[in-house]
A = this chain, B = another copy of it.
Amino acid sequence: MKSYKDLSPSLRTIMTPGPVEVDPRVLRAMSYPILGQFDPEFTELMNETMEMLRDVFQTKNQWSFPIDGTSRSGIEAVLVSVIEPGDKVLVPIYGRFGNLLVEIAERCGAEVVILEREWGTVFGPEEIIAAIHREKPSIVAIVHGETSTGCIQPLDGIGAACREIDALLVVDAVATIGGVSLQTDDWQLDAVIGGTQKCLSVPSGMSPITYNERVEAKVLKRKTIERGLREKGSAVADGKPVASNYFDLGQLQDYWSPKRLNHHTESTSMLYALREGLRLVLQEGLEQRYDRHKHHEAALVAGLEAMGLTLYGNPDCKLPVVTCIRIPNGIDGESVRAMLLNSFGIEIASSFGPLKGQIWRIGTMGFSCNQKNVLHVLGALEAVLLWHDAAISSGKALQAALTVYARKEEERPC
């Protein structure tokens, strides 16, 4: 029989828009022995995770818990639970993950209305609000931070407009949670989906969500008890059952509530990781964490521009945690990425769809977002570009970044 080597992954500097490096304390949490899912010690950890998620999502919503799957599992759980076939869903698209919202909504049987914006830009909220009044959708689904283009969509006023016509507002905050301000209650977001492997710096494999009583009302209308667990005479769906068992928020609520009605078997080690990751986020402080992300973004951008590189996208809507760079003419983007990985152990990202081969994307997210990493990627990128093409200016990138760091150090300790 073939024998397999002991696991010994290389240590990488991961500067992509996710997955990013994981805090050693989170890695350690995953190495603890497991507890059974109904062990009182474990259910207490589940409850604490819900509490911490409320703080990170900035909400009082009771229902704040992770879906056991990667980020798009959280998106699908929310959409499949609120979209009844035939519901009109408005999706403003300004990058790849808007397309994903459309795809999932269509698979849920929605009549999808699309607004489209050129990639690298975002919508003025008034454009979306006008479309809400014109189209009167049941649901509006939108991406907060587009990692495909490095843009962030302002959400002001959209929640209020949705309430005027009794629509639900669903926000994909996979890329922003824990890295950029996200105000679930103040912005009147009805359901928000976060990701673990980006600014929370927890490995991929869970998707924290939160939703309010407006969403819950729709979920409860469609609620069924699992066939094998129904008590005699207990209610079966009065609405149209959700097309998924795994993603049925009605059943998931009962599992995450004190009822603890068995659904799936909670992913123990990932729950340990998420709880520890959230604990570290709150220990750092949300505002401090958002500032840290902006601080290192500024240093990165200063270094890239000093190198003679041009950023992609409208700077007015730049997502602080993802920086997109136009690949200079005549340079093979994949060859640069390979040399960064093989000679420096650094991973930066390529891009999707219309931007394929046009831009690189550098993430400054969570645990990966630190001075050492920023300086390392700038120095390495400059060296690799010089290797590929002497036309790129030399030696200025690190100085420019250090200037930003020096300036900030006077204001506060880094």
Contact = CB atoms under 8 A, between A and B. Distances in A.
A197 to B, nearest CB: 6
Contacts of A204: 37, 68, 264-268
A353 B229 contact: yes
A12 B35 contact: yes
Q: Which residue among A27, A148, A263, A269 has the maximum number of chain B CB atoms within 10 Å of its CB?
A: A269
Contacts of A52: 4
Interface string A59-93: 00000000011111100100010000000000000
Contacts of A145: none
A33 B279 CA distance: 19
Contacts of A245: 72, 76, 100, 103-104, 107
How many identical chains are in the complex?
Answer: 2
A333 interface: no
A246 B100 CA distance: 11
Nearest to A37: B19
Contact of A48 (B4, B12, B19, B99): B4
A31 interface: yes
Contacts of A28: 31
A343 interface: no
Given A27-B30, A35-B12, A229-B353, A268 B19 contact: yes
Given A70-B68, A264-B71, A76 B244 contact: yes
Contacts of A275: 4, 7
Interface string A263-305: 1111111101101100100100000000000000000000000
A96 interface: yes
A139 interface: no
Given A245-B103, A276-B7, A265 B197 contact: yes
A171 interface: no
A377 to B, nearest CB: 14
A34 B4 CA distance: 19
Interface residues of A, number: 91
Interface string A102-144: 1110111100000000000000000000000000000000000
Contacts of A27: 30-33, 269
B18 A265 contact: yes
A227 interface: yes
Contacts of A103: 226-228, 245
Contact of A205 (B11, B205, B262, B263): B205
Given A8-B32, A204-B268, A205-B270, 14 more contacts: A4-B275, A4-B282, A9-B45, A21-B34, A27-B269, A30-B30, A72-B264, A76-B244, A98-B228, A100-B228, A103-B228, A104-B245, A197-B268, A205-B269
